[in-house]
A and B are shown apart, each in its own frame.
Chain A
Amino acid sequence: MSTKKVTGFKYFLWILPFMVLVFLFSYFPLHGWIYAFYDYKPPRPLSKCEFVGLHWFEMLFSNETQVSQLIQVMKNTFAMSILGIATSILPLFFAIFLNEIKNKKFRTFVQTFTTLPNFISWVLVFSVAFALFSSGGMVNYVLMNLGILKEPVKFLDSDSYTYLKMVLWSMWKGLGWGSIIYLSSIAGIDQELYEAASIDGAGRFQKMRYITIPELMPTFFVMLMMAVSNFLNNGMDQYYVFQNSFNKEHIQVLDLYVYNIGMTGSSYSLATAISMLKSVISVALLTVCNLVSKGVRGETII
């Protein structure tokens, strides 16, 4: 008995260094939340900074400029997330229709090259955007040559249709990749279902509607729940690179806003307060999604 316990403890000692890493980079940073209750001015140590209690949280909801800024940021966050969720059905249809293509070579070709953009960084996507859509870029040149435009359109340095543009870029990057999970689900559907349907005289679309789509719904549901639980976490990768002084008003999502006021504007405490609220809401959303998933499918997502 006791030797077994000793071995068990030895095993633990081997993983201990990694547990320390987990502590240092995931649990320990949580202590930084106390900065939200101070007026932290970076060069000074925290002990010499003023304790302000809930000042920053109150300011978020009472200071007029702050409130209007936050409302705009929340609008952007919601818009991007809702558009993201609305378009999350597209990979499913992409997979279904790609599966209808009988020429295997063409199908592999499409799958290979539509997945490629997922593996390049957002900096590179921006580089692509800049090469093609800046005022001196290819698209403007072609449109002007065809006589459709008289002056170059500022695709990047303007604030028109910012949400739409962002969604289109993320679709360009992610549509093919997003469809892979559905393609592999389709491959796993029992072929006898289709054969039986064919005997019953079902056409292509009927098979799609009554077999493929229902079979893919569980996967779609999991993806949807994950998207909803990440509602506030748009990340800043995409928006940071596309951000400029023209489109700042509509491109600033919550994560980017925290970066901008925290790292650029150096209001560490306010930024911490906002990200703290965000974390709490995110965990709440995740819990709700988990409960919904448990209720609907009898299976949790985490």
Chain B
Amino acid sequence: MSKKKSKDGSLGAIYRSSTGDKIFSVINYTLFGIFTLICIYPFYYMIINTISANDLSAAGKVILLPKGIHFENYKALLSLNGLGTAVIVSIAKTVIGTATTVMATAFLGYMFTQERMWKRKFWYRYVVIIMYFNAGLIPMFITMKTLGLTNTFWVYIIPGIVQPFNIILVKTYIESLPRSLQEAAEIDGAGVFRRFWQITLPVCTPILATVAIFSAVGQWNSYQDTLIYITDQKLYSLQYLLYTYINQASSLAAMVRNSGMQGMNAATLATQQTSTSIQMTVSVIVVLPILCIYPLFQRFFVKGIMIGSVKG
């Protein structure tokens, strides 16, 4: 009864201010529509440009629909030096980095709930506190050099294994679960590992999926690690390689502008054009995995953020 009444009440309110409400709604829909378009369009723009005629695309003439469709740009990537290795490096660091950090996070999150552990609180704080300070760029670089990690693949993986924030997430999650299962298993004589594998790990899948997704996106997207610790081209990540391509394109464009010639000659135009198309095609390759898994992980991140707001 009361619910029906309140519904009538709100309908009444809408009715009373209907003109104002309509104007508000129209503006609201329009603004959100525009902002959403601004968010999508660049991706669409890049994709249609990689399959359009390169001279039109270099002049910025491909705007709404692809013109002169061809797939030469993607074929050209195959012969591009270093791209193959960079793809492998990026995939490897994403897969291995995510797997190791998820396993470590699950294990540590679980172990920190084991009250019997020696100095448990101390070690937990010892891990959590590292979120709040940072030795700085140069000390980190010197450390990696001392440990012999610079210019090795492992610099992408090992420093990132222990992630305090994720550990807090998992620990809080485990603590929110009913303890009875754990206790029953303990009475049955199951050791700490068996309890971890057979009881805790299976029920932690949702939170671990969230952790995995964020680690994977982070690994795939990072370029700073390459920038700082890697000079060997064979170990370049895809992101960093893309950055070097864009930079070459921009320096080329700057050269053309600074030459002071009014009419750019065909040769420079041709070079500039390939660099633009290469840059966009590589960009599409870089963003494609994100676009593909995005619908999958979209439902996880709201959950992740909600659990994240619970303090550890």
Tell whether B80 is near chain A: CB-to-CB under 8 Å.
no
What are 26 A-B interface contacts by the 8 Å CB criterion?
A11-B192, A12-B123, A15-B111, A18-B104, A21-B162, A29-B135, A29-B136, A32-B139, A32-B140, A33-B139, A119-B217, A123-B221, A123-B240, A123-B246, A128-B46, A131-B280, A141-B59, A157-B250, A157-B254, A172-B39, A180-B301, A204-B17, A262-B137, A263-B138, A275-B136, A282-B133
Q: Which residues of B contact A199 (CB under 8 A)?
A: 5-6, 9
Tell me how far the C-beta of B93 lies from the nearest C-beta in chain A, rounded to whole angstroms.
Answer: 13
Type the 1/0 row for B190-215, where 1 means its CB is closer than 8 Å to any CB of A.
00100000000000000000000000
Choose among B119, B242, B276 the residue that contacts A136 (Cβ–Cβ < 8 A): B276
Question: Chain B: interface residue count, which band?
Answer: 35 or more
Task: Tell whether, in the assembled complex, residue B272 and residue A136 are in contact, meaning their CB atoms are under 8 Å apart.
Answer: yes
A184-B228 CB under 8 A given contacts A15-B111, A131-B280, A201-B13:
no
Query: How far does the alpha carbon of A114 sit from the alpha carbon of B40 in the complex, in Å?
Result: 8
A275-B138 CB under 8 A given contacts A11-B117, A136-B60:
yes
Task: Tell whether, in the assembled complex, residue B10 and residue A29 are in contact, meaning their CB atoms are under 8 Å apart.
Answer: no
Query: How far does the alpha carbon of A72 sit from the alpha carbon of B276 in the complex, in Å?
Result: 34
Which of A57-65, A78-86, A159-167, A233-241 contacts its partner?
A233-241
Q: Which residues of A contact B305 (CB under 8 A)?
A: 180-181, 184
Query: How far does the alpha carbon of A113 sit from the alpha carbon of B33 in the complex, in Å?
Result: 10
Type the 1/0 row for B265-290, where 1 means its CB is closer than 8 Å to any CB of A.
00000001000100110010011001
Tell whether A146 is near chain B: CB-to-CB under 8 Å.
no
7 new A-B contacts, CB < 8 A, other than A29-B142, A219-B309, are: A4-B116, A29-B135, A116-B294, A121-B220, A128-B283, A131-B49, A137-B60
Task: Tell whether, in the assembled complex, residue B139 and residue A131 are in contact, meaning their CB atoms are under 8 Å apart.
Answer: no
Query: How far does the alpha carbon of A25 sit from the alpha carbon of B139 in the complex, in Å?
Result: 10
Q: Which residues of B contact A12 (CB under 8 A)?
A: 117-119, 123
Which residues of B does A touch, CB under 8 Å?
3, 5-6, 9-10, 12-13, 16-17, 21, 24-25, 28-29, 31-33, 35-36, 38-40, 42-43, 45-46, 49, 58-63, 104, 107-108, 111, 114, 116-119, 123, 126-127, 130-143, 147, 158-159, 161-162, 192, 217, 220-224, 227-228, 239-240, 242-243, 246, 249-250, 253-254, 257, 272, 276, 279-280, 283, 286-287, 290-291, 294, 298, 301-302, 305-306, 309, 311
Q: Which residues of B contact A128 (CB under 8 A)?
A: 42-43, 46, 283
Task: Tell whether, in the assembled complex, residue A130 and residue B140 are in contact, meaning their CB atoms are under 8 Å apart.
Answer: no
Q: Which residues of B contact A201 (CB under 8 A)?
A: 9, 12-13
Query: How far does the alpha carbon of A181 sit from the alpha carbon of B309 in the complex, in Å?
Result: 9
Q: Interface SS of chain B: helix, strand, loop or mixed? A: helix
Task: Tell whether, in the assembled complex, residue B137 and residue A130 are in contact, meaning their CB atoms are under 8 Å apart.
Answer: no
Q: Which residues of A contact B17 (CB under 8 A)?
A: 203-204
Nearest B residue to A7 via CB reads B116
Nearest A residue to B132 via CB reads A286
Tell me how far the C-beta of B143 lies from the nearest C-beta in chain A, rounded to whole angstroms.
Answer: 4
Nearest A residue to B146 via CB reads A28
Task: Tell whether, in the assembled complex, residue B39 and residue A279 are in contact, meaning their CB atoms are under 8 Å apart.
Answer: no
Nearest A residue to B282 via CB reads A127
